[in-house]
Amino acid sequence: MRITLLGHGKTGKIVEKVASQKGDTIVHIVTRQNSTSDIGFQEEWIKNTDVLIDFSVAGAVLDNVRNAVQVKCPIVVGTTGWDSQLDEVRDLVEKGSGACVASSNFSVGVQSLFYLARQASRLLSRLQEFHPFIVESHHCQKVDAPSGTALSLQRILQENYSSDIPVSSVRAGFFPGTHVVGFDSPVDTLTLEHTARSRQGFAAGAILAAEWIQGRQGFFDFEEVLFGEEND
């Protein structure tokens, strides 16, 4: 698979490494220094590309997806912090007959947390004494708070709760990320927790999504890639 990488920060560099280990080829790396809004230029390097993988910055996502749709190239978006533009991006892909997998977190472990949180909320929302909550912790250099993953978890729980789901965020130290979904009652507490040990899981998941999106059309979440119709 021939990949053009949008963004070459910490996660982007790991995507490059994991792709190489799997036998894929990074044909282009687009950074702030060599990017351009000129679609003609992008068509030149897109000719030898099977898929775009975006781990850039939130402010670039809309343009990156728009360009991908225009040149008919599938795109995988792992950048976070652009939740306010989600509906606009989805509409852009669907109206332009594009192909996109977007997720706040491409870790298979986190996607399993999403799945389990959905099942738990379906069950416990029937019992008034259980109150849901989310706590997330990340290293002090992470910019967005709450994290994109925490916001995704909040949306999942909100499917079964009419009241707002509280989210608490911590930015300190060096750990890659911990997310806790809890349901608290007067007599007991149920918690589901995921802790990332490295960004390699995000990179491997993004490449899996890049393989899956080949030949498809539409806007998809990574949860759909892994679990398909199981969440219906």
Name the catalytic one among 22, 72, 142, 179.
142
Place of tokens 């781990």: 55
CA nearest to 105, candidates 23, 221, 230, 214: 221
CA 141 to chain centre: 19
Would residue 142 show up in a list of annotated catalytic residues for this protein?
yes
Would residue 138 show up in a list of annotated catalytic residues for this protein?
yes
Name the catalytic one among 8, 138, 179, 194.
138
CA nearest to 109, candidates 194, 178, 34: 194
Element (H, E) at 196: strand 189-196
Place of tokens 């989310």: 134
What's the residue count for the chain?
Answer: 232
Show which residues are catalytic. 138, 142
